[in-house]
Structure 1
Amino acid sequence: MANAIESAILFQVENNTFLLDIPYSIALAQGETAPCKQSEPPTAESSSRTQTNKSQRKQLLSCSPAKEPFPSTEPKKPSARAKVLESSPIAERRFHSELILPLVKDSLEIIRAGVEHGRWCLTRAVPCEEVHEYRVPGHTPSRKRRKENDSTSLQPGPDGHVITLDEPPVILSSAAPNIFESLSELKVAKNPSSETAIIQIGTSYETMGEYLVPPGSSFILCELPILKGSDYYAAHEIPIPGLSQRFNLILMDPPWPNRSVRRSGHYTINRYSEMDILTEGMREILQTHSYRREDITQELAETQSGSQIQSQQSIAAIWITNAEKSRKAAYHAMSSAGFNVCEEWVWVKTTLSGQPISALDGLWRKPYEILVIGKQRTDSRISASSSSQTDDLTIVSEAVATRRVIAAVPDLHSRKPNLKSIFEKVFFSNESSRESYTALEVFARNLTAGWWACGNEALKFNARECWVNDTTGN
């Protein structure tokens, strides 16, 4: 088992199979120093404070790890199961049964053989009254928005202001709290320091809430145009207002349609009729904020080795559901933006003892989510994942060169594992690329040291009330 103080990866076999602790992965991603171009060089004084901060590490509040699998929701009668199977596309059934299921089974067996203590996650900090979502301090949605949004969503102010590229970002200081009357004052903000900055909402006399901004991180707090309907999206020339730079890594966790969530009315969700808008929006984000093929070709011609991601190359990563429509949308968005789908990472959700949280071959609920990964094409040759081929998902999925499995005990709803450390192991493994690559997380729910984040929930899990002093000894 890896030293948990240094890594949230509890077990791994090469770079293909991982056991990851979710809360600790987010905690470590808050960083003590920022491995990116934006950060200022540390001084002797800041280095001294960093050493002090290491002894005061914070732990992210979580829910208790599941000890038993979830109750089954599967059809009980053979006739009912057969009916569900008939309604599922054959290609989708083959994808899960022939490509994903055997890989997941083998990977879980490998991890079981390697985890001696039997626990598949670290000790968690759980509130006395366990919650599944946190309300963010200093934010009170309007009555209308409450019906549409999660109460923890961070919406910009009611003035309807649209961020433009002409507006300078707010530069945060790590020397003292940065005080703002409301979150609406924060459209675009940067922490260029190698230390954590604190945002205080309220006044010097009364604090409504605080947020911890990791070293070298930046954020855009807004609802993206692609979530506001076709007319609003068409009226905006840039997919992320206030952002113009390009990135080596673009990670997205889109708000895919979900029947049960849509019935609850708890979240703002894109319906299937709006899937084309979401797909187009993801394509625009990738095209606008990734490096162009001509940039990559020129740099590869100037370098002696193409084995590592170079400074002008980009990779894209999109979380999908287990529905065929979301996988097709991710494939198409990447392909039409000039990316070849090259990898798929499978996050397998397990109990504390390593059992899948639901049946691996379940029809209604599968115990995993998939991260689709693509690399920017370096030539004009047509690949299996080109836009002309993405209608046939079988061709694309069978052409995926690499699949990796990441097992992790799930935490709060909507909280994904932070995969920064695994991205760096796989794509930015040498010291030069690890220190210089740039990254953007779209639809983010927390900040990551050295990365950009955007979305209306980008500060969600960076609220101070989500963190406590680490007394677990992990």
Structure 2
Amino acid sequence: MAIRGSPILWQGEDSRVTLLDIPRSISAAQGTAERPCQDLLMSTEPLKAPYVAVEPKSERAKQNLQQNTVDENLHKIYRDILSSVLESIRQTHFGPWAHKRPFITNQGTVRHSKKRKLDSQDVPATGDTESEKGEPRSADTPLQDELPVTNNSLQLIHQAHDEPHTPEEICQICAPEDPRFRTNCNPVTLTIHPTKQNGHSAQDTLRLPPYSSCYIGDCAKTSRAFHTAIRHQANEHETRRHFDFILLDPPWPNRSVKRTYQTPGAGYDISGSLDDVYDLLMKMDLDMLMADECLVGVWITNKQAVRELVLGKDGVFDQWGVELVEEWIWLKTTLHGVPVTPIDSAWRKPYEGRGL
């Protein structure tokens, strides 16, 4: 079942399997059902073909891989589940596997889909999302063919709005003394420009969804200020001080990221070791902010050491008093629904997991 105009391209009847357009889902999260976000996230071009699979040839290389990843029995379970899921989607879903999108090219420019309409669901069978220079646009999508892009900031393409612009202001009654904490009490998305003191450049632009708050800073190094800001907001708005849901995406060490992003400012920061990640998570004192029935989601990689750090004895969940109740698997596919690498690949898995 597809949900028109939604990041969800298809979903099983029991909602256990979802085909999701990731860039569109990030854009959608910037708005509400009453006031949906009208902007599109610029991302990389969707893959049209899987990556070239390079498998280990020597026995020593195979043994090293086995020692560096989760138990092979668990990978077998993943492979069986994902193979079955892919087959069930292909039998019932005959639409696109990705929305049309503006994407960043290798030359640092953005290319847009041909005659793109905001609610368009159709993707050409060829998977070609580039438009020729000078191609006319639909009246409701006044996009340029090429825009300058920087690699270190989140950028969105602004669409035409049918309604007049509503003034957006930082909430004054709940603004704490700490400028790193921002609250948006408006029914529209708020655009804010952090200062350099908050760890961002003057050109950075952050978007705060309606009726939400954010802390622009290091929640580990300044955990006391982070907790104080949350208590301040709760007092001013008479809201709860504890969270029902916490989602974390830690900066896990990754050699591939280090090799890919060697130019300063061209990638994203990662921790130097697993000990650093553990210290980062512990110093935020998130267990003090959890409600009694709080759900905690943590993105993890396929490294055995990462899994043990989160789910093992004396690991993160153990320290927080959280138990594993479910595990989600994110399978990455091409524009045509093919895994980006073979599901049974020994070297590079096409999936990641999350403990919940």
Tell me which residue corresponds to 1:72. Answer: 53
SS in 2 for 1:248: strand
Report the counterpart of residue 351 of structure 1 in structure 2: 334
Cα deviation code 1:372-395 (max 9, x no counterpart): 10xxxxxxxxxxxxxxxxxxxxxx
Distance 1:364 1:63, change over 3 A: same
2:304 matched residue in structure 1: 324
Question: What does 1:1-400 align with in structure 2 at a 5 Å threshold?
Answer: 1-5=1-5, 7-13=6-12, 14-32=14-32, 50=35, 57-75=38-56, 77=57, 79=59, 82-85=62-65, 87-88=67-68, 92-97=71-76, 99-117=77-95, 119-127=96-104, 131=108, 151-152=152-153, 175-176=167-168, 186-199=179-192, 208=203, 210-225=205-220, 242-244=229-231, 245-263=241-259, 264-265=261-262, 266-272=267-273, 275-283=274-282, 285-291=285-291, 296=292, 313-331=293-311, 332-373=315-356
Per the TM alignment, residue 314 of structure 1 is displaced from its structure 2 partner at its CA by: 0.5
Query: How many angstroms apart in 1 are the aligned matches of 2:109 and 2:64?
Result: 30
Distance 1:132 1:216, change over 3 A: farther
Contact between 2:287 and 2:320, CA under 8 Å: does it hold in 1? yes
Report the Cα distance in structure 2 between the residues aligned to 1:288 and 1:220, rounded to whole angstroms: 17
Query: Is the 1:251–1:318 Cα contact (8 Å) retained in structure 2?
Result: yes
**Residue 286 of structure 1 contacts residue 334 of structure 1 at CA under 8 Å; is this kept in 2?**
no
Higher RCO by CA contacts (8 Å cutoff, separation 6 or greater) = 1
- RMSD (Å), alpha carbons: 3.5
Deviation at 1:250, TM superposition (A): 0.4
Decide whether the 8 Å contact of 1:62 with 1:125 is kept in 2.
yes
Q: How far apart are 1:261 and its partner, in Å?
A: 2.4
What SS is found at the alignment partner of 2:43? coil
For residues 101-144 of structure 1, the C-alpha deviation after alignment (integer angstroms, 9 at most, x for no partner) is: 11111111111112113x2111112357665999998xxxxxxx
Closer, same or farther: CA 240–347 of 1 in aligned 2, 3 Å: farther
Structure with a larger share of its residues in helix: 1
**Aligned partner of 1:246: which letter?**
H
Q: Which residue of 1 aligns with 2:161?
A: none
Please give the TM-score of this superposition, normalised by the length of structure 1: 0.52
SS in 1 for 2:308: helix
Aligned-residue identity in percent: 29
Report SS of the residue matched to 1:314.
strand
Contact 1:177 1:199 in 2 (8 A): no
* Cα separation, partners in 2 of 1:262 and 1:16, compared to 1, 3 Å: same
- 1:136-173 deviations in Å (ceiling 9; x for gaps): 98xxxxxxxxxxxx8449xxxxxxxxxxxxxxxxxxxx
Contiguous gaps of at least 5 residues in structure 1: 34-46, 138-149, 154-173, 179-184, 226-232, 297-312, 374-474
Q: Deviations over 1:438-472 (max 9, x none)?
A: xxxxxxxxxxxxxxxxxxxxxxxxxxxxxxxxxxx
SS at match of 1:340: coil
Normalised TM-score (structure 2): 0.67
Residues 107 and 86 (structure 1), Cα distance of their counterparts in 2 relative to 1, 3 Å cut: closer
Distance 1:8 1:290, change over 3 A: same
